[in-house]
Structure 1
Amino acid sequence: METHSHSMRNLFAQLGLPSEDADIARFIETHGPLPEPARLADAPFWSPAQATFLREEILVDAAWAEVIDHLNAALHPAH
């Protein structure tokens, strides 16, 4: 079985976004917090291609799913 470990930097690069730590922190600060019922892929700041990628990777529980979940948690308010 092949295992992949993707990082937040890899995810941002995959999405075509600046992927340095400071860029990621700025993105999260700028776009968060999302309202609680909002799904990450439905956020208005994604391009159609980015939203499709996020949706599909979560749907099939792909190798990217774990890091996408981390991004989702970072963009939603803490409870």
Structure 2
Amino acid sequence: MEHPDHPFTELFEQLGLASDPASIKRFIERHAPLPEDIPLHEAPCWNEGQAEFLREALDEDADWAEVVDHLDTSLRKS
């Protein structure tokens, strides 16, 4: 099954966050680095709905999984 591509900005919109490049950069700078032992959806920066969306996207290998992986990688960089 082919997954549609979602831009990084669209993921931030889906999460209810500001999605312009400067806001995304600030969000990542503010919340990175996320420790390796904390799953992305358990990071303290998410509300319950956001955490559930991120967990389901990865657990179900949903069409959002690739861009959620990108977010995970971005938040783990120091």
TM-score by length of 1: 0.92
State yes or no: 1:54 paired with 2:54. Answer: yes
Question: Structure 1 residues 53, 70: CA separation in 2 closer, same or farther (over 3 Å shift)?
Answer: same
Shift of 1:36: 1.2
State the one-letter code of the partner of 1:6. Answer: H
Q: Would you identify which runs of 4 or more consecutive aligned residues in structure 1 move more than 2 Å?
A: none
Output the CA distance in 2 between the equivalents of 1:51 and 1:20: 21
Unaligned runs of 5+ in 2: none
Identity between Structure 1 and Structure 2 (%):
53
Output the CA distance in 2 between the equivalents of 1:77 and 1:18: 21
Shift of 1:77: 3.1
After superposition, the C-alpha distances for 1:23-76 in whole angstroms (9 at most, x for unaligned) are: 100000000001111111000110000000000010000000000000000001
Q: Which residue of 2 aligns with 1:6?
A: 6
Counterparts of residues 40-51 of structure 1 (less than 5 Å): 40-51=40-51
Unaligned runs of 5+ in 1: none
State the one-letter code of the partner of 2:21. Answer: D
Output the CA distance in 2 between the equivalents of 1:49 and 1:14: 11
Output the CA distance in 2 between the equivalents of 1:18 and 1:45: 14
Q: Which residue of 2 aligns with 1:28?
A: 28
Counterparts of residues 53-72 of structure 1 (less than 5 Å): 53-72=53-72
Q: CA RMSD in A?
A: 1.3
